[in-house]
Amino acid sequence: MKQGPRKQVKIVRIIARLNIGGPAIHTILLSGSMNKNGYRDVLICGKPGKSEGDMMYLAAENNVVPVIIPELGRDISLMNDIKSYFKLLSIIKKEKPDIVHTHTAKAGTLGRLAAITGGVPVKIHTFHGHVFDGYFGPVKKTMFLLIERFLAIFTDRIVTVSEAVRNEIVDKYKIAKRDKSVVVPLGLDLDKFLRCEGLKGRFRRKLNIGDEVLLVGIVGRLVPIKNHKMFLDVVKNVLDKKISREIKFVVIGDGELRDSLEEHANRLGIRRSVIFTGWVTELAEAYADLDVVALTSLNEGTPVSLIEAMASAKPVIAVNVGGVCDIVQDGESGMLSKPDDAKDFSKKLFTMLEDKDIRTRHGKCGREFVRNRHNRQRLVNDIRKLYEECLGRRTV
């Protein structure tokens, strides 16, 4: 009979920063849950940028107190990266963990290097997406690919959050062999989204928008990879088609591109129809009042905004990039459009807005799909099995 760990297993979990987004939510929920399930999980992170949003509030809600390394942030800096490496190595030598589990690219590089030199028995890295499309030019891309292939040699398991991302990591970019990789889908606290109907009307009242107005929202950081400029181009196209009902578009989130996006909306002549809300902490209220949720990213792992929207029974329309196709079934739980194609996206969004039956059907289907597949307990169970398997192999 297979047994779990005989002693308390210690995990050092490393992520570059707890900025608003899926990777931060994922690591906080995992760290908090593992500590409740007989493990000792130490979360290490850097500080988010000023405009990125900070999820320390979620860490507090989950009784997670991260160890902060200020130099461990998003930007590449030789001096800061060297300092981060030695600080990580010092913590690893002090904690003597059984497992080092890294998340996101920079933390994955520095964290695994420290784990290798620190003699950690099990090293695991999670790709929440990847930085090989839409982030860097060909020279940097090649350099990062070589680094990832080297680190994969010393990594016990490469985790991806979707099958599509796994296929890219294994088959397209040749980072690791398939038998070293495993898919562990995102798991979230979905209860508030599954019950969001009771919150209907609150978000619209805050925005002074009536129930008769169709409301389309996009949720995420205002950064280049999220491609909000295309979303605004779509808004222009849809408004030009003279839809049968009044429609408003809501940009939920903040970031470095906010000023330029507002200027772009002004240039397109659509500013009166677009509302920039900044960060919204009560997202369940927002989803309760949205009629459609959109995503226009150039690259994605598994978008949290789509999972939350689907749990809220909202129809989604998204570009078919990365792991999006693993959660959105085109024509069933939402619509998929061609990547970076405003005309195709606009045409499909217009169809969805004009047909309430499509929106209702897609919303119901999406909720049923994510209810069991993307909940928190499933995530914890999958990760526990992975840890026990890796530790068992080391013991043998």
Q: Is the pLDDT of residue 274 over 90?
A: yes
Whether 265 and 387 share a structural domain: no
Q: What is the pLDDT of residues 9-43, one digit of tens each?
A: 999 999 999 998 889 999 999 999 999 989 999 99
Q: What is this structure's pTM?
A: 0.87
Least confident stretch, 51-65, 112-126, 256-270, 307-321: 51-65
Q: Is the pLDDT of residue 81 over 90?
A: yes
Q: Is the pLDDT of residue 314 over 90?
A: yes
Residue 372 has what pLDDT?
Answer: 87
Whether 211 and 93 share a structural domain: no
Domain coverage including residue 197:
191-373
Whether 201 and 323 share a structural domain: yes
Whether 92 and 161 share a structural domain: yes
- Say if 4 falls within a structural domain: no
Sequence-separated (6 or more) residues with CB below 8 Å from residue 301: 22, 127, 128, 129, 130, 160, 161, 162, 165, 322, 323
Whether 268 and 358 share a structural domain: yes
Whether 252 and 346 share a structural domain: yes
Alpha-carbon Rg for the chain, nearest whole angstrom, is 21
Name the domain count of the chain: 2
- Say if 2 falls within a structural domain: no
Q: Is the pLDDT of residue 210 over 70?
A: yes
Whether 147 and 19 share a structural domain: yes
Q: Contact at 8 Å (CB) between 133 and 294? A: no
Locate the DSSP E strands across the chain: 10-17, 40-46, 67-68, 99-103, 122-127, 157-160, 181-183, 214-219, 247-252, 274-278, 292-295, 316-319, 334-337
Q: Is the pLDDT of residue 344 over 90?
A: yes
Q: What is the CATH number of the domain that holds 206?
A: 3.40.50.2000
